[in-house]
Amino acid sequence: MSIPLKHFKKGSAKPELPEDGLLRLYCMHFCPFSQRVRLMLDAKQIPHHRIYIDLIDKPEWYREYSPLGKVPALQLTHVAGQPTLVESLIIAAYLNEQYPQRPLYPIDPLQKALDKILIERFVPVVSAVYPVLTCNKNAPPDALENFESALDVFEQELTKRGTPYFGGQKIGIVDYMIWPWLERIPSLKYTTEQHYELNGQRYEQLLKWCQLLAQDPVVKLSALDAQLHAKFQQSKRLGKPQYDVGFED
């Protein structure tokens, strides 16, 4: 549930939330790191409140929950002192252990470690594509080339595993942790001069994987279409991020 459907800005009063013990997710609607946590919460069907934060003009009270002003942040209202967790992977690991329904990490310790390493190997993918994805005018000319080189690791790994998902026959932690960025790649067709799209031969397995993930009921709960992502990113390029775009639709 969301209270309300808008991003809180500087000067906004702190939202009045019921003391019902539900988790409180502080996030931004278009943030892929926030989407990681949403996927975990939705996969495990954990009731929660969502509070949206304007990342350019943050409300003063938000520092109480995230000292560095980052999203996502998850407030544990059912725990004494109501502590808040930050960093998407830390939150994901906590949710997987605290809420055992539908475990997303492998049970086998070795495979669990290998999957964690694979998620870490996605960092270069994000770093390379981020300037292009966010319509940064100063994006390096070789950004997409570097992105593809880093993404090759995941095409090769999926081919090696020989399964529909990185998690095997079912979606697992790697799938949900990398999906938010793959969801956004089609927006580059609308925001780049070359109308960029992933090469169908080079990324045959990943594109099949994308089609499967897009049909997942959990993914559908937080997914936004490519044109909406593009609209938001283009507003950032103009220096006026429209965080609430889509909420009025």
* pLDDT digits 0-9 by tens, 144-167: 999 999 999 999 999 999 999 999
Say which CATH class 2-98 falls into: alpha beta
Query: Which residue ranges in the chain fall short of pLDDT 50?
Result: 1-2, 249
Give the start-to-end residue ranges of the domains of the chain: 2-98, 109-237
Architecture in CATH for domain 109-237: Up-down Bundle (1.20)
State residue 1's pLDDT score: 45
The confidence score (pLDDT) of residue 137 equals: 86
pLDDT of residue 249: 47
Q: What are phi and psi of 118, to 5 degrees?
A: -60, -40
Report which of 79, 114, 112 is spatially closest to residue 98, judged by C-alpha positions.
Answer: 79
User: One of 27, 31, 135, 210 is an active-site residue; which one?
Assistant: 31
All residues at 6 or more sequence positions from 239 whose CB lies less than 8 Å from its CB, including other chains: none
Does residue 31 have an active-site annotation? yes
pLDDT at 4: 63
Q: Which pTM does this prediction carry?
A: 0.95
Sheet of 84-86: strand order equals 2-8, 48-53, 23-27, 73-75, 84-86
